[in-house]
Copies of this chain bind each other. A is one copy, B any other.
Amino acid sequence: MGKPNFEKKLTIAVIGGGRCSAQEAVLAETVGRELAKRGAILVCGGLTGVMEAACRGAAIESGLTIGILPSDDPTDCNPYVQIPVATGVGYARNIAVVKSAQAVIAIDGDYGTLTEIGFALKSNIPVVGLNTWSLYRNGQEDKSVIKAEDAVDAVEKAISLAKGQKLD
């Protein structure tokens, strides 16, 4: 008889567009691989583009992938999602994607990604950005989205922030 597992696992959300360029797909796949190598669970929106590339990277390194889908059909997910969550609540699932993680990595992305960044920041969940949105409020830059230089840098920053560590 085993012992119950009380520990919550390190979980990082990867967000980005449902369509992406080949270059961004490489970036997302590398992020997925680097997360899996460090034992993090990858949570995402479960669909195509950045989401699929990140899941593919994680799956290659045998990492666990969770896809939180807008539809109510768990088979709508990309083939690298191991645990599909079929929310049935449409793009309200964007909230669940970021709230289920301890940190978020945003890669490129369109307006949907912007809503996820907003929901994460609203809840003080750290967001690390790779070629993504910059925000100005009333003419002043809001530096809450922490810029990363490359995939490894994004993963390392996200994991540090997820663990509550300060960045240098």
Q: Residues of A with Cβ closer than 8 Å to B?
A: 1-6, 8-9, 11, 41, 43, 56, 59-62, 66, 68, 72-75, 79-80, 82-93, 95-96, 99-100, 108, 110-112, 114-115, 117-119, 121-123, 131-139
Contact = CB atoms under 8 A, between A and B. Distances in A.
Given A92-B92, A119-B115, A6 B79 contact: yes
Contact of A100 (B8, B80, B86, B100): B86
Given A88-B96, A88-B99, A91-B122, A136 B138 contact: no
Given A88-B95, A132-B138, A118 B108 contact: no
Describe A's contact surface by its main secondary structure.
Answer: mixed
Nearest to A43: B85
Contact of A133 (B66, B90, B137): B137
A121 B11 CA distance: 29
A55 to B, nearest CB: 8
Contacts of A114: 114-115, 117-118, 121, 135
Nearest to A111: B122
